[in-house]
Structure 1
Amino acid sequence: VRLVGLRLDKVEKAKDSGHADIAAREIAKLRLQIVALPKESVVIKEAAAALARLDDDAFWISLSHDRLEFLRAEIKPLFRTVSEADFKAMRFERDLLEYSLAVLSEEKEQAGALKEGIVEQISELPLSVSFVKQEEALIRAAQTSHYWAKADEDAFDELVAKLGPLMKFREQS
């Protein structure tokens, strides 16, 4: 639920600050999350009318503040039905989303603190596990300040796609 809330905040911030590309990217991710909601869930079936509005591309093309509020009020709570998800991967994605939102909002202190937490999570990945070892180059790079100085939306997507699923192997020290 929190991940969807942050994604909506980022869409709004990106739209308000003229970053249509970032907004479009986050909207696409949000739509994928919505499509992945468990169709057999009673809660989802009861929300069929609200969800049907989202099938129309026009809803997304002119995503106004009113429509964002509708998504927050009617759609975001539906994500409580998502249970089988890998929570460590979701937390990692949420932290990266929060970081990119802080960067977009020019909240340098918050971004710095979030980045430290993300780097710490990455550093806890055990290279002794073969799946993890396959991403060693990215794992090592993502722990450098040089990486973060150049990181953009593509870099964040790559981290979520490649390292998110590995978070379940993390070794807390």
Structure 2
Amino acid sequence: MKRRILGIDPGSRICGFGVIDIVGSQRHYVASGAIRTPQGASLAERVKVLVDGIHQVIDTYQPTEAALEQVFVNVNPAATLMLGQARGACMTALVLKGLPVAEYTALQVKQSVVGQGKAPKEQVQFMVVTMLNLSGTPQADAADALAVALAHANHSGGAIGQLARSGLRVKGGRLV
């Protein structure tokens, strides 16, 4: 059975997306890119661009599930708030299209893709290229989104992930 995962790396200026197919234990690259909001746009205008952009990606690639990176707390509260609002817009767009949404911290994504949570962005990009057998390196936000999709594939592919997809509640890798 084929699964198509849409990974999202939310951002208020640049929102990365990555789409992969999972067939058995094989991971295949489908598409990746970035949704860019206009420079100087209001928050409302940015939210609309993000929602419309994600809807366009969903309509084009028809994913069966989605994964979203969680917001980390930044030293700049205003930047953290903007990132949280962008993430909320992304989650809303996914939910409005009826996709199940999983959430992963940056640490979980890096541990899943690289093997250690403190890996630099360049190492994450390298592993994305290696795992998906890409001929070139995707732009940083797209690579991060592909890493989110790969992390979801790694976390959701086992028995617990299958139980969660069947409707049972799973938290922290355990049934609740």
Decide: shared fold, TM above 0.5.
no
Query: Which protein is richer in strand relative to its size?
Result: 2
Q: Which has the larger radius of gyration?
A: 1
Normalised by the shorter chain, which TM-score bucket?
Answer: under 0.3
Query: Which protein is richer in helix relative to its size?
Result: 1
TM-score (norm 2): 0.27
TM-score (norm 1): 0.28
